[in-house]
Structures are given as structure tokens and as C-alpha cells.
């Protein structure tokens, strides 16, 4: 079965009602390609005597139960040749090249059951795959086909291959001889390491580490060890207590036999760099790490003009992620974030702030965080932003099972809390922890299939608005027997199209989805539903709050001039401006959010009477000493409370993320031109 068909069928079975459009976006496929995959999936279902996939208003439903599907796929996974289609076969060739000797055209043809011409075409694709890693594929009569390049680059490529491909099928475990006995051995090994380090690895990490260690040891046994040239500068690592603890456990369990110190270090780094779900190692308040994380959170709050609740919890979660990330970055362990693009698309403005706020941490850690690593940090902050305390009482109790690390688990749990205010979410945890602790709850949300006696709803780590709407109906239909017809965005859009001309289809669809979710997730005893009631940027920055300074100004003069419209309109008192300046002089604030843009502000202490924002465009830039930047656009923000200004702030960040928008504002000569730059140009 083609991998594409398998992935689409997974989504249809585990997310009943998933739409064709969702599948198209998620898997980057055309509707025609999805139609073809559904046709192939129906052939498979028919082969096993199951009914075909049902389609209702372009929403897809599988007649096969999740339990039946899991059994069917287990039977399919036992067949080696069944998976050798296109990219799957090419990945298998790569694995054989990485792990075996004397690979010839004939041996590949016989092993994979295809013609030599097909293998030659695959080898050309393999060469293209290796090229970005500065590795090459060569052939000699003596050695056959061999991947050539520094061993450390070959190992890093191997890790990337494992990250990007699903190697959990039965046939693959047979191929590398990862037997059930060996799986049990590794499970006991990692439990010992978890106890020693006082951590809990994510399920995903526990699944991948035995594969990584097995493949690495196979390469060493094939005379491909690492050397000092591959891994220089390890002296500091060897002195760390965590390194000594893990290497001792590996030695006691016979895993360091025949390995040199560089190969042992490589293995330990994979373990120390594994994603964590829980750490009992507390962040000490007097440590450099604590101070750096505290500065990072303070910078974020300053740039977002927000105050985060339960910061101690956020500090600990950041620490849990940042330490393994440090090992990954310093020693070149690749990381793949499966929902990076979705997070950056939805929370791009927060992600841009994280890229600036992370600087104190990078300085202490001695490394720069990659985009994939930063997305995990973004997810922690988004989770902290959306965190809210739930009222306890007679209500359903749930937990979230997530195989990923703390960042994805935290974000997903808080998204579900917002989606289901009627449900008490106890916590998120790993599958292993759940099976060990036997937690008693009414329902479970899980990123993996779990055959349980209590209702279990499988979810993706990142939920689109349409998925949220669909999930909410599924949950209440099963838990409370609700049979009311589901109002879907697609249904409403079809009705509107019949009776009106739509100027912006995507924006209308997005607003309808948002409205339906807000209505459905609003608790019964709340105030009447309101939609987008918070002021938008256009409500706050108007011609009455915009000024242009043609003459040179000093820093304090510029801040006070920016505030004049808000004082004149009696939105703030002069005391507010005094506090902004005092905090900045005491290096307690961080205002620069983009090149040439700053947003001076402090929290309301009774001197903000109503939410306000004002903009000053300077022909001559002023210097912001705390950040070391020259600025020409100053936007004073006077927040009345912790939340009312957040929509406008999000709009502002999205606007200034595009530097061309900033340049247009700087070039504007009149207030009306600035208004046009803010609201009439694509951002």
C-alpha cells in the first residue's frame, strides 16, 4: 500500500468527518490526488470485506472501526514488499546502504522484487537525496554501492531519515532485528535512565531511541566508527554529571562494548537530547538558566504588552525543553517539528517575538536556536497565553495522551481546554504513564490510537478551526447522545454563495469558523455571545492619534509627544508616561518589536482610564538604548487590562513583520498616507 494512501486512510478513520479540503492542505495534495488515494483505500477496505469510505458534503467517514483498522494495518505491516512503492522503496535502499555491505544492483533488485532498471532510477533519486547533506553515492566492483562522506554527516543524515519517515512498522523492526526481547530490554534501560536523571521521556523519544542506537551500533560493527575529527570539543560534555550517569548505565547494560569514546558520546547525546514530557529536576532560582529564562519571559511580556499567569510553571516547562535542545544544537542532533509550518502560519507574530526574546537564553546556553527549536518555544508561550483556570464541579473529567514532548502536549491541552470549557482537564501525560498509573477519567483525548473501555477521541497535535468544530460535535454526540444536525462552515458557505457575491471567500470562511467556535464553546451561564468585541487596530490608531515629527527629538521628548493625543482625549494621565520613562531608564522594559518600530508601554496602575494607542512617525530617528536600535515609528500603548488590547497587538505585529510596510509608513508624509499604509495595503 502506498504511504500516501495509508496516511489519508489514517486521518479518515481517526478523524471522522475530516474534509477533503483539510486533507488537501495537510498533505499538500490536489483534490484529484486525494480522489485517487480514496479509490485505492476503498480497494484495500474491500479486500478485507469492509464497506467503502462514505462522503457527506465533502466530509469523509470510514465504516471500519478504529479497532478493526488497527488489526488490518498490523497484518499489512508484516508484508515487506507491500511497502516498497516509490519513496518507501528509495528509503529502504538508503537503509540498506547505511547498514549493509556489498550492495549491488542485483542484490537490490532481488531484495526489493523490482527490475534492475527500476533500481537504477531509484539510485538516481537516492543521489539527489544525499546531495544536500554533502554526501555522495559511489560504486566500485569490489565494494558495490557505498555512501561516501564524513561519518558524522552520514550519522546526521541517518537521524534525519528516522525523523522524517515512519519506521515503526513490523517489517522494519524485522529488518534491523529489533525483536520483542530487545524492545523489552530498551524499555527497562530507559526507565533506569529516567529514574537516574529524574525525567520522563516522551513516547515518541522512547520509540525512536532503540532504532537510533541499533542503527548506530550496526554502523560501528561495519567498521564505520566516529573519530575525534567527527566530534571535537567534547571535554566539557564528558565532565557533566548527566553524561557520566547515562554512560555508566549504558556500560552496565553492555551497550558500550566495542565502541570508542566518540561513539559512546554520540549515543549519550541522542539520549540527553531526547524530548521530555516531564522533568522532576527543578530549575534553581539562583542559576544562570533561571535568570536567562526569566529575562526571556520578561522580554516577551514587554513586547506583547501582556502579563502571563503562572509564570513559575512556564519557567519550568521552558527549562524542560531548553536543556535537551541545547544538546541537540551543540552536537548537531537534527530535530523535526511536525507542526512547525502550521504554528508559524497561525502564530507568526508570537513566533517573531520569540526570535528576539530568546537572546538572553542563547547567550547563556552558548548556542543559537534553529527555527524548528524556536517553534517549540513559541508553542509553550501560546499555551501559557491561552491557559485558564477551570471551575471544578460536577463535570466530565478528561486527560490528554500525547506521544510528543512538553511543548506540543502543553499547547494541545490548553487548546482543548478552550474548546471544551464544560470539561475538567486533569493533565497531559504519556501513554506509558497512563498505563502505569491507571487514571480514572470519563474520556480521553489522544494523539495515538488507544483501544480502551472508556471513550477515547484521537486528535492531531495541531487542530484547525474546522477540526475543532468537528471534534466538539463528535465528543458531545458520543458522551451525551446529542443528535442535532451539525452546522458546518462548508454548509453555510454554500448557502451564502447561492444568494450573494463574496468579495473575500477565505476571510468570510475564517470569520464564520471563528464565530461558530466562539458560540459553541461559550459556557451556558456566560454573557450573551459576542463576536470580535475587542477593539481592532483601526479603532485605536486613527488620524486623531497619529502625529508626524519633522524636527529632531530626544528620547524622552519623543515618548511624551507620542502620548499627547491620549492625554488630550483623557485616556491616560501624565503619570502613565512618567512610569513608561522610569521603567525604561531602569532597564525594566524592552520596547523594540521590529526594525524601526518600538511600542513603549507599562501595565495599568490606575493611570489608564480607557484602552488607547497613538503613533508618532519621526523623520529623524531616536535611539532606544536598552535594545541598541534607532527607531522612526513609536507606538505608545496604554492597556486598560490584560486582554482587551491583544487583538490590536496581534494585528500590529503582523503588520510590522513585513518590512516593506514599515518602510511605507516611514516614507509617508501625511496622516492619511499613514492610515493607508496601516489599513489599505496587504500585510
Residues 6+ apart with CB under 8 A from 652: 537, 593, 599, 635
Q: Give me the pLDDT at residue 383, please.
A: 82
Q: Give me the pLDDT at residue 619, please.
A: 94
Q: Give me the pLDDT at residue 260, please.
A: 95
- Please give the Cα distance from 518 to 506 (Å, whole number): 18
Q: Are 159 and 334 in contact (CB under 8 A)?
A: yes
* Structure confidence by residue, pLDDT tens digits, 304-339: 777 787 788 888 888 888 888 888 888 878 777 777
Q: What is the mean pLDDT of residues 194-221?
A: 90
Name, of 87-96, 243-252, 440-449, 595-604, the range with top average pLDDT. 243-252
* Structure confidence by residue, pLDDT tens digits, 330-380: 887 877 777 788 888 778 778 888 888 898 999 988 888 888 889 889 988
Please tell me which residue, 603 or 564, carries the higher pLDDT value: 564
Calculated CA dihedral for residues 511, 412, 285, 279, nearest 10 degrees: -170
φ and ψ at residue 491, rounded to 5 degrees: -60, -45
Share of the chain above pLDDT 70, in %: 89
Q: What is the mean pLDDT of residues 585-589?
A: 75
Residues 6+ apart with CB under 8 A from 595: 629, 659, 662
- Tell whether the model's pLDDT for residue 481 goes beyond 70: no
Q: Which of 150-159, 279-288, 402-411, 484-493 bottoms out in mean pLDDT, i.e. has the lowest?
A: 484-493
- Alpha helices by DSSP H, 305-370: 311-330, 340-346, 348-357, 359-365
Q: What is the mean pLDDT of residues 572-590?
A: 87
- Please give the Cα distance from 540 to 590 (Å, whole number): 22
Q: What is the mean pLDDT of residues 158-165?
A: 82
Q: Give me the pLDDT at residue 168, please.
A: 59
Residues 6+ apart with CB under 8 A from 341: none
Q: b/e map of 282-315 (b: 16 or more CB within 10 Å)?
A: ebeeeeebbebbbbbbbbbbbbbbbebeeeeebb
Q: What is the mean pLDDT of residues 93-106?
A: 90
φ and ψ at residue 424, rounded to 5 degrees: -90, 120
Q: What is the mean pLDDT of residues 238-262?
A: 93
- Alpha helices by DSSP H, 18-86: 20-27, 31-47, 66-77
Q: What is the mean pLDDT of residues 177-190?
A: 92
Q: Give me the pLDDT at residue 120, please.
A: 94
Q: Which of 152-161, 219-228, 244-253, 674-683 bottoms out in mean pLDDT, i.e. has the lowest?
A: 674-683
Q: What is the mean pLDDT of residues 604-624?
A: 94
Q: Which residue shows C-alpha cell 560504486?
A: 139
Q: Give me the pLDDT at residue 529, please.
A: 29
CATH 1.10.10.10 fits 3-77, yes or no: yes
Q: What is the mean pLDDT of residues 376-391?
A: 72
Q: Give me the pLDDT at residue 79, please.
A: 52
Q: What is the mean pLDDT of residues 119-146?
A: 93
Q: What is the mean pLDDT of residues 385-401?
A: 68
Q: Give me the pLDDT at residue 558, please.
A: 95
- Classify domain 537-679 by CATH number: 3.40.930.10
Model confidence band, residue 212 (pLDDT cutoffs 50, 70, 90): very high
Q: Give me the pLDDT at residue 15, please.
A: 83
φ and ψ at residue 249, rounded to 5 degrees: -65, -40
- Please give the Cα distance from 250 to 255 (Å, whole number): 5
Q: Give me the pLDDT at residue 166, please.
A: 62
Q: Which of 81-90, 145-154, 157-166, 404-413 bottoms out in mean pLDDT, i.e. has the lowest?
A: 81-90
- Tell whether the model's pLDDT for residue 609 goes beyond 90: yes
Measured from the Cβ of residue 518, the count of other Cβ atoms closer than 10 Å reads 13
- Classify domain 397-486 by CATH number: 3.40.50.2300
Q: b/e map of 248-259 (b: 16 or more CB within 10 Å)?
A: ebbeeeebbeeb
Q: Give me the pLDDT at residue 407, please.
A: 79
Model confidence band, residue 525 (pLDDT cutoffs 50, 70, 90): very low
Per residue, what are the HEC states of 526-550? Answer: CCCCCCCCCCCHHHHCCHHHEEEEC
- Classify domain 279-386 by CATH number: 1.10.1790.10
CA within 13 Å, CB half, 488: 18
Going 389 to 390 to 392 to 396, the CA torsion angle's sign is negative
- Please give the Cα distance from 59 to 44 (Å, whole number): 20
Model confidence band, residue 492 (pLDDT cutoffs 50, 70, 90): confident
Burial classification of residue 586, based on how many CB atoms lie within 10 Å of its CB (0-12 exposed, 13-18 middle, 19 or more buried): exposed
Model confidence band, residue 514 (pLDDT cutoffs 50, 70, 90): low
Amino acid at each position: 500500500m502506498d504511504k500516501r494512501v495509508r496516511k489519508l486512510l489514517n486521518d479518515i478513520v481517526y478523524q471522522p468527518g475530516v474534509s477533503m479540503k483539510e486533507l488537501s492542505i495537510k498533505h499538500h495534495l490536489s483534490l484529484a490526488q486525494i480522489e485517487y488515494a480514496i479509490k485505492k483505500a476503498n480497494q484495500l477496505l474491500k479486500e478485507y470485506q469492509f464497506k467503502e469510505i462514505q462522503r457527506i458534503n465533502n466530509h469523509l467517514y470510514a465504516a471500519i472501526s478504529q479497532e478493526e483498522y488497527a488489526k488490518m494495518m498490523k497484518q499489512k505491516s508484516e508484508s515487506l514488499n507491500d511497502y516498497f512503492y516509490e519513496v518507501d522503496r528509495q528509503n529502504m535502499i538508503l537503509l540498506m546502504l547505511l547498514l549493509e555491505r556489498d550492495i549491488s544492483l542485483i542484490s537490490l533488485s532481488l531484495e526489493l522484487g523490482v527490475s534492475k532498471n527500476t533500481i537504477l532510477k531509484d539510485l538516481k533519486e537516492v543521489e539527489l537525496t544525499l546531495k544536500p547533506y554533502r554526501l555522495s553515492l559511489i560504486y566500485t566492483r569490489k565494494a558495490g554501492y557505498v555512501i561516501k562522506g564524513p561519518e558524522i554527516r552520514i550519522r546526521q543524515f541517518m537521524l534525519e531519515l528516522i525523523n522524517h519517515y515512519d519506521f515503526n512498522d513490523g517489517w522494519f523492526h524485522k529488518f534491523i532485528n529489533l525483536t520483542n526481547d530487545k524492545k523489552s530490554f530498551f524499555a527497562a534501560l530507559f526507565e533506569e535512565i529516567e529514574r537516574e536523571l529524574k525525567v520522563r521521556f516522551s513516547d515518541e523519544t522512547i520509540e525512536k531511541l532503540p532504532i537510533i542506537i541499533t542503527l548506530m551500533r550496526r554502523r560501528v560493527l561495519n567498521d564505520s566508527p566516529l573519530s575525534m575529527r567527527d566530534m571535537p570539543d567534547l571535554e566539557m560534555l564528558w565532565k557533566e554529571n548527566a553524561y557520566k550517569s547515562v554512560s555508566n548505565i549504558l556500560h552496565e547494560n553492555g551497550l558500550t562494548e566495542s565502541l570508542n569514546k566518540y561513539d559512546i558520546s554520540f549515543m549519550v547525546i541522542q539520549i540527553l537530547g531526547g524530548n521530555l514530557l516531564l522533568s522532576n529536576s527543578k530549575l534553581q532560582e539562583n542559576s544562570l538558566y533561571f535568570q536567562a529564562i526569566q529575562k526571556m519571559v520578561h522580554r516577551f511580556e514587554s513586547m506583547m504588552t501582556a502579563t502571563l499567569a503562572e509564570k513559575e510553571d512556564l519557567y519550568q516547562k521552558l527549562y524542560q525543553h531548553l536543556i535537551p535542545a541545547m544538546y541537540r544544537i551543540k552536537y548537531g542532533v537534527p530535530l523535526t517539528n511536525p507542526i512547525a509550518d502550521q504554528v508559524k502560519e497561525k502564530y507568526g507574530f508570537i513566533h517573531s517575538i520569540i526570535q528576539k526574546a530568546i537572546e538572553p537564553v542563547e547567550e547563556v546556553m552558548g548556542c543559537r536556536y534553529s527555527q524548528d527549536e524556536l517553534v517549540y518555544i513559541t508553542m509553550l508561550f501560546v499555551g501559557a497565553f491561552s491557559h485558564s483556570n477551570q471551575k471544578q464541579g460536577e463535570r466530565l473529567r478528561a486527560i490528554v495522551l500525547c506521544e510528543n514532548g512538553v511543548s506540543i502536549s502543553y499547547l494541545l491541552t490548553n487548546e482543548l481546554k478552550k474548546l471544551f470549557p464544560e470539561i475538567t482537564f486533569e493533565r497531559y501525560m504519556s501513554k506509558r504513564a497512563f498505563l502505569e498509573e491507571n487514571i480514572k477519567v470519563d474520556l480521553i483525548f489522544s494523539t495515538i490510537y488507544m483501544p480502551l473501555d472508556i471513550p477515547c477521541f484521537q486528535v492531531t497535535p495541531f487542530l484547525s478551526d474546522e477540526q475543532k468544530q468537528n471534534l466538539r460535535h463528535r465528543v458531545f454526540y458520543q458522551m451525551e447522545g446529542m443528535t442535532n444536525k451539525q452546522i458546518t462552515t462548508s454548509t453555510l458557505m454554500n448557502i451564502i454563495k447561492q444568494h450573494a457575491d463574496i468579495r473575500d471567500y477565505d476571510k468570510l470562511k475564517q470569520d464564520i469558523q471563528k464565530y461558530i467556535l466562539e458560540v459553541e464553546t461559550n459556557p451556558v451561564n456566560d454573557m450573551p455571545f459576542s463576536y470580535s468585541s475587542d477593539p481592532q487596530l483601526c479603532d485605536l490608531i486613527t488620524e486623531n492619534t497619529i502625529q508626524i515629527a519633522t524636527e529632531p527629538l530626544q528620547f524622552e521628548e519623543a515618548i511624551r509627544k507620542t502620548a499627547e493625543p491620549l492625554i488630550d482625549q483623557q485616556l491616560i494621565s501624565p503619570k502613565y508616561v512618567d512610569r513608561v520613562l522610569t521603567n525604561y531608564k531602569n532597564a525594566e522594559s524592552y520596547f523594540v518589536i521590529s526594525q524601526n518600530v518600538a511600542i513603549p508601554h507599562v501595565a495599568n496602575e490606575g493611570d489608564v482610564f480607557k484602552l488607547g494607542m497613538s503613533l508618532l512617525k519621526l523623520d529623524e530617528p531616536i535611539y532606544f538604548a536598552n535594545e541598541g536600535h534607532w527607531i522612526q515609528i513609536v507606538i505608545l500603548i496604554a492597556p486598560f487590562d490584560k486582554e482587551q488590547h491583544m487583538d490590536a497587538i496581534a494585528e500590529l505585529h503582523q503588520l510590522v513583520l513585513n518590512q516593506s510596510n514599515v518602510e511605507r509608513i516611514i516614507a509617508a508624509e501625511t496622516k492619511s498616507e499613514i492610515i493607508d499604509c496601516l489599513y489599505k495595503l496587504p500585510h
